[in-house]
Amino acid sequence: MTAPSDRPDHSGINWRACLLCVLTNFAVAMSCGTLLPTLGLEPSVVVKTLPFQKLAVMALAVAPLLETSLFFSLSYFLLTKTALPQRAVWWLFFIVSITSFVVWHHGGATPSFHRNWLQALLVGGFGGLCYARCFYVTMRSRIGSPFLTTALSHFLNNFMGLTVAFLFG
């Protein structure tokens, strides 16, 4: 029997944080998907829709890894290199990561994939808040990899969104 270690276990997935993020994102997406059209606030459609296969690859492989790297892991890493106290690092982490996630989701990685600001605020704001919280909770719990947990929750959220779009869109 080994003694408990003070070192964090960043080797796996924090399933609790991951599933909570996925369920929260799904609930918000479904609520917005039904509430906005009812109120007459449905955002305009994407200007030029990508082919479904290309969209699926981007949403399932590229986006979770690239966006988790850029907006969550990199921003946290850079902020920890400052002389700021940890509490300030976390506040700035949330502000920087969510803001950059919103801006990214307005224009997307390619000029042909564009959302209006309402869509960007809904997708990027709620998604960014959820993923930033997932990263934060995983880091603070010292259970699982913040990167892997956040990327997996992003993947699962995009998978559910693509599945709904494929079946009903």
Helix/strand number for the chain, H first, E second: 8, 0
Position 114 scores a pLDDT of 60
Residue 169 to residue 165: CA distance in whole angstroms: 4
Give pLDDT tens digits for 36-79. Answer: 778 777 655 544 567 888 888 988 999 999 999 999 999 999 99
| pLDDT over 50 at 118, yes or no | yes
Position 30 scores a pLDDT of 83
| Whole-angstrom Cα Rg for the chain | 17
Residue 80 to residue 88: CA distance in whole angstroms: 10
When pLDDT is cut at 50, 70 and 90, the band that residue 161 belongs to is confident
Average pLDDT over residues 157-167: 89
Phi/psi at 154 (nearest 5 deg)? -65, -45
Q: Is the dihedral of CA 53, 108, 125, 136 positive or negative?
A: positive
